Structure 1
Amino acid sequence: MKKRWTWAEVAARTSRATGVLVVVDDVVYDVSEFVDVHPGGAQVLLDAAGADASAAFHAAHDPALLASFADMAVGRILDDASADTLGEGSMQERLARFQGSAAQGGAAPPKPTLSILDLHERAVSNLPPAVLAYVDLGAEDEESLRENVQAWAAFALRPRVLCDVSRCSTTLRVKTKFIHIETDSPIGIAPFAGAAIVDPERAEGAIAQAATAQNALYVLPHYASVPLEELALVAPRFLQLYAPVCSAQDPSVDFDYLETIIAHVADHISAVQAIVLTVDSPTFGNREKTYRNPAWIAQLQAERGGMPKLRALEAIDGIGKHPGHSPALSWKDIARLRDLCHTHGLGLVLKGILALPDALHAASLGVDGLMISNHGGRQLDAALATASAAFGILPPLRNAFPELPVWVDGGIRRGKDVFRALAMGCTGVLVGRPVLWGLAAEGQLGVQRALKILKEELVTVMKLAGCARLADIGPEHIALGMNKL
């Protein structure tokens, strides 16, 4: 594999007559003889011919698969303008020369989308300012928003070696009295209102289709812009709800409203297995940069015509506009809601747990699952980062309730963060912003790409850590502090 190809040479080889070349990770492959036997059809390779197919390849395949194509490799990419200088100097100098020569010699190939951060870059390029602010910003000074991402890095990984990881499975199975799910990975989609702000045409519909394609858990948002019936055609689905207030004069929880929804879901939407009650929102967080900012409101009106219409519950008779959140929601209501859900054959999961006493009390009341969450840093600023909360909650909770499903969300950007959560004792993770970034980048396929990226990274970490199954991941694989012995 000695030949160095220019992009112009590669671009000229795009048909059966000329030969078909594709580039993956700067390696040039001659796939001419593979075109007609490609499992996905010849057109897939012909569409990618003569260009950088790295992003498309990694979105659909495990990187290890490249080894099986080694006999098709015919060289590497080298830009003509930098051919005589790339071998000299430090890495920084070579990179600077390459960037300079690319600017002079023509546009470089598109940057591949290899990580969640790459998806974020594309979302930043595609979204108007007010929409991007809605997705990316948090409450007040955004302390929790920042810490959610940074806190995962406080936990070092402790890999084991000489373990057979030739076959690595990320399949997650959860079986309780009311919840029976089997997904392709422990990575699910968190409920996030406002997908129609990002993608007015497809909104949550694209996310639901991506979840189905990837066999991922999707927690349907109460404030969706698409009717539940269109989002829950295929399991597994949970439905997130806020506790509604009776009226301005009566702050208690409106159980008639809740029972109407729960009965409809149980009778008409079989894919939904559990109600996820968000318990961290007795009032709205102080979002000074968005909801409380007149300039942002005016700009969103100009960009998207304002906030989208909420249509999740429109098919339910007797349900009008959501009356607002009940500030009186308390533990006595949880017991009543648990019984209501169980009567209709649904589980009850509480979302917004950050304190160990709350987790233990909820479990003792017989709820069917917990979600450790600080609302993506959009409610109480300075609330504990979810990685830190999970680390404090899981060991004693697992001792008392070893089978209780527990998910965590917030700040998960890498497969190693998923691994850390599983090592702490979480059943799975949920991601919100990465999904919306994928939606902004390329619609349904972008959402699928986000889930694939995290899953492929998780597989890599599992193999390097000596874990062939999710059950192999345990607290022995992490340490608090990068230098802890």
Structure 2
Amino acid sequence: MRDADDEAADASHGTRDAYDLDDMERVAAAVLPRDVWDFVAGGSGRERTLAADREAFDRLYVTARVLRDVSARTTDTTLLGRPARLPVAVAPVAYQRLLHPEGELAAARAAAAAGAPFTVATLSSVPVEEVTAVGGTVWFQLYWLREPGLTLDLARRAQDAGCAALMLTVDVPWMGRRARDARNGFALPGHVRAAHLDAGARSAAHGAPVRGSAVAAHTAAAFSAGLTWSDVAELRSLTRLPLILKGVLAPADAARAVELGVDAVVVSNHGGRQLDGALPGVVALPDVAGAVAAAGGGCEVLLDGGVRGGVDVLKALALGADGVLVGRPPLWGLAAAGEAGVRRVLDLLAAELADALGLAGCPGVGAARELDVTRLP
């Protein structure tokens, strides 16, 4: 019988043979249990928005510029006032010890080595203090909990732990209906827990329900559906950290965020995991970026959802993004080979972005924002 060491060795070898993120996805799918893979890969409803996120990217084409000196290229940029070696941050994803024993710790070490911000989730399986101890730039993602005081306590805890920004997710009053998880009766194994919630709040995610997903039942009990702009204003007034709103698709919402002093918005449909039929983020991006600029700027625009390579990052920059978040690809790397797998994912993105910049006639990230992008039918 094969043991875990054998499987890990095979997975590590698979990452060496991964020449793009599609290769890494195949490695992860081969090593993960089916219910865990479905939890990572799945979307809500009939998964129309999940598919549309990729289809929208695939319909975008860049008008490359020529006769520009691209003999020296750089992917260096700044995100929320801090230097980053590429315009990419690792998105918040819950329960990463489902995929590897070290979970968020391995992913955070890889992000720090790659010079990319790492976002710790409210539902992280590792406490924020342990993740910030890894080093690098760490952001903290907040869900608005039924007890607002607990949310604000988490914000203070993240600030005290050394996080560089707070990211409030605003598109999850409750978890979208995810059929794969419901069919699987998905529940967390005993060794995986929400490290930032107390034992009572965590327990529902572990007990298999009679029907459906235990994780969905858990989040419905823990999250508040009453989050409003007044709560955003309160959080803004209580923290000195840069504040990011994740889950913005409407230009009017982006403009309101600027008015409240938000430092960045993430154009996102939650990776196709909330409203099935929601607009793909890359389609919403130009109008959101325009609304932010018209509202006075001073607020960065990030894109989340569907990014699967360096050319996708180039397209997002050209459409008005300051950077992107990647969620599923680092998880593929984590499942395949832990820290080394996540680092391989980020190295692939960096290499592909440098290549795409040069072939498009851009010596750096700033020049990519001057490119024209055409959407084909």
TM-score (norm 1): 0.68
Deviates more, 1:472-481 or 1:165-174: 472-481
| Structure 1 match to 2:225 | 327
| Structure 2 match to 1:69 | none
Q: Distance in 2 between the 1:307 and 1:54 partners?
A: 26
**Closer, same or farther: CA 358–307 of 1 in aligned 2, 3 Å:** farther
Determine if the alignment matches structure 1 residue 468 to structure 2 residue 368: no
| Structure 2 match to 1:257 | 150
What amino acid is the match of 1:476? L
Q: Distance in 2 between the 1:444 and 1:235 partners?
A: 14
Aligned-pair CA distance for 1:228:
0.8
Aligned-pair CA distance for 1:54:
12
| Structure 1 match to 2:338 | 443
Q: Secondary structure at the match of 1:434?
A: helix
Contact 2:259 2:295 in 1 (8 A): no
**Closer, same or farther: CA 387–288 of 1 in aligned 2, 3 Å:** same
Contact 2:59 2:375 in 1 (8 A): yes
Superposed CA offset, 1:436-476 (max 9, x none): 11111111111011111111111111000110011111253
Q: Distance in 2 between the 1:260 and 1:362 partners?
A: 22
Determine if the alignment matches structure 1 residue 355 to structure 2 residue 244: no
Determine if the alignment matches structure 1 residue 285 to structure 2 residue 169: no
| Among 91, 97, 108, the residue aligned to 1:196 | 97
Superposed CA offset, 1:375-410 (max 9, x none): 111111111111101132213322433331111110
- Number of matched residues? 347
| Structure 2 match to 1:187 | 88
What amino acid is the match of 2:122? H
Contact 2:243 2:264 in 1 (8 A): yes
Aligned-pair CA distance for 1:262:
2.3
Contact 1:157 1:477 in 2 (8 A): yes
**Closer, same or farther: CA 320–137 of 1 in aligned 2, 3 Å:** closer
Q: Distance in 1 between the 2:200 and 2:129 partners?
A: 15
Q: Secondary structure at the match of 2:325?
A: strand
Q: Secondary structure at the match of 1:375?
A: coil
Determine if the alignment matches structure 1 residue 305 to structure 2 residue 189: yes
Q: Which has the higher contact order (CA 8 A, sep 6+)?
A: 2
**Closer, same or farther: CA 319–240 of 1 in aligned 2, 3 Å:** farther
Q: Secondary structure at the match of 2:284?
A: helix
TM-score (norm 2): 0.87
| Structure 2 match to 1:400 | 295
Superposed CA offset, 1:142-195 (max 9, x none): 001001111112221001101111110111113xxxx43111101110001121
What amino acid is the match of 1:215? G
Q: Secondary structure at the match of 1:377?
A: coil
Q: Distance in 1 between the 2:270 and 2:124 partners?
A: 16
Q: Secondary structure at the match of 2:271?
A: helix
| Structure 2 match to 1:273 | 164
- RMSD between superposed Cα atoms in Å: 2.2
Superposed CA offset, 1:320-369 (max 9, x none): 7586111111111111111012xxx2121100001111111111111111
Contact 1:228 1:313 in 2 (8 A): no
Contact 1:195 1:224 in 2 (8 A): yes
| Structure 2 match to 1:85 | none
Q: Distance in 2 between the 1:477 and 1:229 partners?
A: 43
| Structure 2 match to 1:373 | 268
What amino acid is the match of 2:195? R
Contact 1:227 1:313 in 2 (8 A): no
Contact 1:395 1:424 in 2 (8 A): no
| Structure 2 match to 1:130 | 35
Q: Secondary structure at the match of 2:179?
A: coil
**Alignment gaps of 5+ in structure 1:** 1-52, 57-111, 247-253
| Structure 2 match to 1:168 | 73
Q: Secondary structure at the match of 2:35?
A: helix
Q: Distance in 1 between the 2:306 and 2:190 partners?
A: 27
**Alignment gaps of 5+ in structure 2:** 1-12, 203-218
| Structure 2 match to 1:141 | 46
Contact 1:425 1:475 in 2 (8 A): no
**Equivalences for 1:208-227 in 2 at 5 Å?**
208-227=108-127
Q: Distance in 1 between the 2:257 and 2:322 partners?
A: 17
**Closer, same or farther: CA 227–54 of 1 in aligned 2, 3 Å:** closer
**Closer, same or farther: CA 440–206 of 1 in aligned 2, 3 Å:** same
| Structure 2 match to 1:158 | 63
| Structure 2 match to 1:100 | none
Q: Secondary structure at the match of 1:262?
A: helix
**Closer, same or farther: CA 219–54 of 1 in aligned 2, 3 Å:** closer
Aligned-pair CA distance for 1:313:
5.8
Aligned-pair CA distance for 1:417:
0.6
What amino acid is the match of 1:308? V
| Among 283, 301, 312, the residue aligned to 1:388 | 283
Identity, % of aligned pairs? 34
**Closer, same or farther: CA 257–427 of 1 in aligned 2, 3 Å:** same
